[in-house]
Structure formats: C-alpha cells, structure tokens
Structure 1
C-alpha cells in the first residue's frame, strides 16, 4: 500500500522509552531519520511565488571568474587554533561521535563560522575552504578538526544505516547500476544534481582521482525562476506530492520502503516571524528511478510521462546554470541542501599503490530554533533532524570507508 495522506506524527526519538543513553549516543541526541512530509502542510502550485528574489538566487557568471567571493584560505593563526583544539580533543580520549562546540573550542574562529553559517542557510549557500593541512595532520587528526569545525555549522547526523556520522565518499567497487541497493557515493559513477538528507553537507578532500570527480553546484532558486519562466508545467509537476523516493532498505522496524512526497516545497507559514515562506528543494533522481521493483508490482504508480519530462528538464536546467568547482587535497566544501543542488562528474582512480579518490563527508542539521528553515516535516525543530537512522543504530565515525 502507498503511504496514507494523513497520519499521526511519530514520537521524537529522544522521547522513545525515556532519555537517550549516552553510552550509545554520546551527545544525548539521536538522528531523527527519513519520513514523509506533513501532507496537510503542503500547498498547491498557485500559492508558490512567481519569482524568488534575494541572495539565494545567484547565477554561475556571478562567481565563475570571482573565486574570492566563495573561497576562504585558512591563515596560519586559524590553522594553529584548529590544530590546538584537535590536539586537546584527542588528549581527552573522548569518542569522535561525542565532539561538540563545548569540547572543541575555537574562540577566534567562532565568530567567522557563525557568520558563515548564516550565509549557508540564508545567503549564497556555499563556501570552499583551502589550506586545511590534511597531509601534515593525517586522517585521524584531520577528521577531528573537520568534525570540530562542522559543529559550529550544525549538528552531525547519520548518513546511512550503519550510523556513519563521518562519511567517506570513495569507490568501493560496488555496482552503480544496482541503484535499488547501492548508494552512488560508494562508486565512481556520475552523480546527477541532487540534495542530501541534511541541511548542510561538507566534503573534505583527502585524495584526488586521476581524472574526473569534479563538483558542480547550482542555486535551486535560480533553477526555480528559470522553470517558472520557461516551463511552468514542469515546475507544477515537481511541486505536486506525486513522487516516490526509495529508502533502499535503510528503514527502521515497521517503516515503508519508500516515501510519497514532493520535490519542491514551501516552508510552513509563520506570520509572527514576518518572513515570507521560502522554497525548499529535496531531490535525487537515483532514489526515484530505483523504485521500479515496486511500480512493476503495481504497489506504487510508475513514473508518468510528465514526471519523466520533469526529470529530464530539471537535470538539463541544472547543468545549464551550474557553477563548476574543483576540490584539491585539503579543500573543504560546505553547502546548503535547502537551496543548492550539487552533482559530481564520473571519475577514474589512480592505479595502486596510489590512493583512491577520498572525500570525508559531514551531514549537518540546523533546527528551526537555531535559524533553520521551517520545513513541512514533523522533526523540523529537532536538533538532529533528517539524516538516516535505522532503529537504535549507534553513531560511528570510521576514519576510512567501510
């Protein structure tokens, strides 16, 4: 059966069976995971704005020849502060899954990171850091400093059923054609434009590919405006709650294997804030195309001609409007998943013994009460909203892919 149109809200994870054990979740917080939207909070196409304005609407030509607008190189003082904080954390013997702003002190960088967080959430939505000394520090200290940096931007959430809060984008030789089972980040295949299951995603480059594996990103608000002008029919299809997203078996007990949802949402209204509801995009074509095992069995509808056209036009529009970015060793990219879509070109690794392409990944959550968007989901004000959580799987932070 397809998911119902309405239903009771799930209980927040920290209210399930009493307080969360800090032996399992060291910071006392648990990733809320994937779930359907609040269907009665979804609004029809005619209530969406005709055009989006503001700093979230940017064009590639605004930045392509001006990297100083989106690049920050860590200076010696900032590297020293990150190094000292990482050394102090390592000396404390605290599990990496227990890292937080309180035990990773950055008194000088904190103000800059606070402003950056605001720009990620409500501004252009992306930054590229350079000068992070991964080769000097090695993977363990680099992971500590990277996760510590991330705690100033959001709360880390689990990225898969194994509880990885420190993820690893690396080709593990899995079959990228088996899209109903395999997560594409574990292959060398092209990733089409998509958003991850978190408010902010971070990528730290540990090793580069021989060729390919380069990054593209686009303002989904610029894409929205372009579709509103050129293909309003496609925009209406993307706004309609007729889409099914696969969960690829990463489900807790009793959960559906898929979610019925929209691609483009409007924030829940909040007249008391005086802020116009913003347009939020949640998309990954691999998770839509992988559901043929259910549509072939008549359990969910197959993709319609209108949906297939929307798939095609959305990707083509993203490609046309995108900004290309290359991550070198020691570079860190942070970007918003609310109003940025990102992609990756296919790649080829170096032959052994040279290392394979390797990016450390963070998924970070930004709850409403701390400036996050008012999303039409039951967990919008949970600190660790979103992500992927299977039952009581504890968070883990492996130092390499597994």
Structure 2
C-alpha cells in the first residue's frame, strides 16, 4: 500500500505534467498563427527591401527588349548573381519573372537545377498580372508550399511586364515554431520544477511531518510507553488531530498514574503487614528481623541481575526484571535487533526511523543500554548541533 506521501507526490507530478502538456499544446496552436503572421510581415518587408536595393543597384525603368527583361540598361535574364545576393540578404527564395515565366531564380527543382523557364501559378498570375495587385499568402512554388510575396513590375508607361517574388519556406516557419516551443518548454520546465519543489516543501512541512510525528507518538502509546505531547504546525485539520492526540495522551497518563498509585498503595500495605508480623514473632521458625531484611535485600539484588551468556549473546541479553520503569522487553528486543543488524554508528534519529518510534522513546532505551555497557557513545561535530552516535561496545569507533 502506497503511503500518503507517495500518493500526494504522484498526484502533484501528474497534475504538473498534465498542466505542462496543456500549456505546450495551447502555446503550439497560438504560435502557429503568430508564425504565419510573422512570415507574412517578413514577406512584405522583404519585397520593399529588395525593390529598393534593385532600384539603387540598377537605376532606370523596367522594360522588355528583344524578349528580354531589362532594368535600366541592365539585362535581368539569367542574372543569377542578383537573385543570389538578395536571397543571401533576406534568407528567402527570390525569383524575377518576365510575364509569367521565371528568368532568374534561386528556386531549384528535384534535380538541383534552377527552375528557369517554369511558370507562376494561375491564381498568382491572375492577381498580379491581370489585376495588378501584390499577392501575399501561401502559394505552391514548384511543388513546395511557401509563404510568398509577389509584386508586379511596371514599365515606364505603367504596363505590367513581369513579377518580383520572395518566398519563405515552411521549413523556416517550422524552425521558428520549434525554437519558440523549445524556449517556452525550457522556461515552463524550470517554472514547473520550482513550483513542484515549493509545493512539496509546503506539503512536507504542513502535512507529512506532522502526521509522521503523530504516528510515532501513537506507536509509543500502543507499545505501552509514556509519551510526550506532540507539538506540530499545520492546517486546521492537522491541528485538530494534534489536539485530539494530546487529549488521548493526557487521559492515558492520568489513567496510568492512577493504576500505579493504587498498585503502590497495595504493595506498601503488604510490606507493612509482613514487617509487623516479623516484629511480633521474632523467633517464629527461627527467623529474626535481620534474616528477613537479608532475604529482602537478596530478592532486590536478584531482580537486577543480567543473564550471563557466552560470546556475543552475553552483550545483547538483558533480563526484563533489570529494565527501569517505563521500558518494556519487546521494544528493547526490537531496538537490539535493529542495532545488531546495523552495527555502525547510529544516532537516536536513525534508530527511531528504523524501528518506527519517537526519538524521545528510543533515546531512553539507548541511554539505558549505554549505562549497562552494551553501547558506547560519541559526539559527532559538524555543521549545526553535534550529534550523539551510539555503537556496540565490542565495536569501538574508528580513530
């Protein structure tokens, strides 16, 4: 069965992953429209830029002479240096048409050759050549879709003699979108991790740790130990649980104290009756006061004896009669078993985590075992408060 900590962690991570996926999906849809709009603006800007460069490089009007297109006195047919230069400046594909036919272009076919002599698409020809308007939008350029800009080239008398074209391939659009998505994904991932860490820290402090402390206190009560009231900070529900637990501890301590008081009173009464009987009959069966006292002392001394065993068993064996008030044999055996398995320097917090009891309870057992010589301790200094480490006395600390 998964712990509540793991369930909350899975829920948190699942929610954040779902949120990030939805964010990227919405961002991708939004970016698609923005990239298209940016490509259209780029096409319009590149048309104006290239027109100005051509006018400054080749002054004079557009004209047609002997079936060739001229700009001023410069022949444009097969002038690939011009279109290559403009393409390098803008990053676009560039073409100059005479009428509807390509006469200089950077567009290449499947064989890698420039597609000189191919025709412009019919819808573009109608818009630019017949209607005299600039065409901005998607167009099929030799079998590939581009975001394009076509503008009419006019002779000095106003007649349309050709077309100037710039095109932005979909690959360029996809690259822009991919870079944008990767950038946003990186920022989103960083933000998601930050939110996850802050949320997890909050959950640990306000829910997990308080519940853990209350659970350990409950286990102490269940194993018959006196336990202290817990003091935790958290949400209202956690505070109510803490209050209920502390009330239970109060009742338990009150009930235990009452039982001990009644038990002690009965024990004192029995001892008084025995002493009175001994004094009244000092010679009864040859037993005097001094002999009674000697027997009582021998009984008390016998109750604190430790079983002697051979080898390692002698170190770890403590009789239940030797335990001080408040400690029990089952919990001691549990702690001894953990120490035997993990024979290395351990703090009370390490042992408490291993046996699932509170540090206060575990510390009492460790200090008792230290008094009996079964454990030895040493303070470990570092950052913060020094930590007291315990280890079996037959395995001294490394120098």
How would you bin the TM-score normalised by the shorter chain? under 0.3
Comparing both chains, which one has the higher relative contact order based on Cα–Cα distances under 8 Å and sequence gaps of 6 or more? 1
Q: Structure 1 or 2: larger helix share?
A: 2
Q: TM-score, normalised by structure 1?
A: 0.19
TM value normalised by structure 2? 0.19
